Amino acid sequence: MNPIFQYNHVVAPEEIDQQEHVHNLRYLQWTLWAAHAHSAAGGWDSAAELKRGIGWVVRSHDVTYRAAALAGDEILIQTWLSEATQIAVRRRYRITRPADRQVLAKVETRWVLVDLRDRKAIRLTDTVLDSLQALSEPPPLPWQSR
């Protein structure tokens, strides 16, 4: 799995709330989409695992909002794993608007793998952990040179 994943999104008019900016729950939705796409790109077949009764479940979200997204904005969600242990994976996200080099939000989510039949966490095997690459430092912003 590539350790850094970038997910593109254009803010749709229906994502705008009464305050004329993106509703904060949409930021979480974008991170979930980015996590799903990153996992799929790394070979995780969520449909097959769901048939087996296994899935990733969120234990916690931490969101820091820094600037508002508006309708029509082209945004980029960067995501990467910052920690992987036998009991949980910590995924970070940075939601940016490259057009004006704004960081809109920083998000961290703690995920656990769960047997959905009995709703109990499953320990990650060494094989799974070896396939995950956690980064100790955040990647560069999209507009920074590597």
| Span 68-99, pLDDT tens digits | 999 999 999 999 999 999 999 999 999 999 99
pLDDT by residue (tens digit) across 58-72?
999 999 999 999 999
Give the three-class secondary structure for 27.
helix
Number of domains the chain contains: 1
124 belongs to a structural domain? yes
pLDDT at 146 over 80: no
- Asked if residues 75 and 67 have their Cβ atoms less than 8 Å apart, the reply is no
61 belongs to a structural domain? yes
Q: What is the CATH number of the domain that holds 121?
A: 3.10.129.10
Q: What is the mean pLDDT of the chain?
A: 94
Q: Which residues constitute the domain of residue 13?
A: 4-131
Considering the entire predicted model, what is its pTM?
Answer: 0.92
Contacts 24+ apart (CB under 8 A), 7-10: 7/33, 7/34, 7/37, 7/38, 7/76, 7/77, 7/78, 7/79, 8/74, 8/75, 8/76, 8/77, 9/33, 9/74, 9/75, 9/76, 9/77, 10/72, 10/73, 10/74, 10/75
pLDDT at 145 over 90: no
- Asked if residues 34 and 79 have their Cβ atoms less than 8 Å apart, the reply is yes
- Asked if residues 93 and 77 have their Cβ atoms less than 8 Å apart, the reply is yes
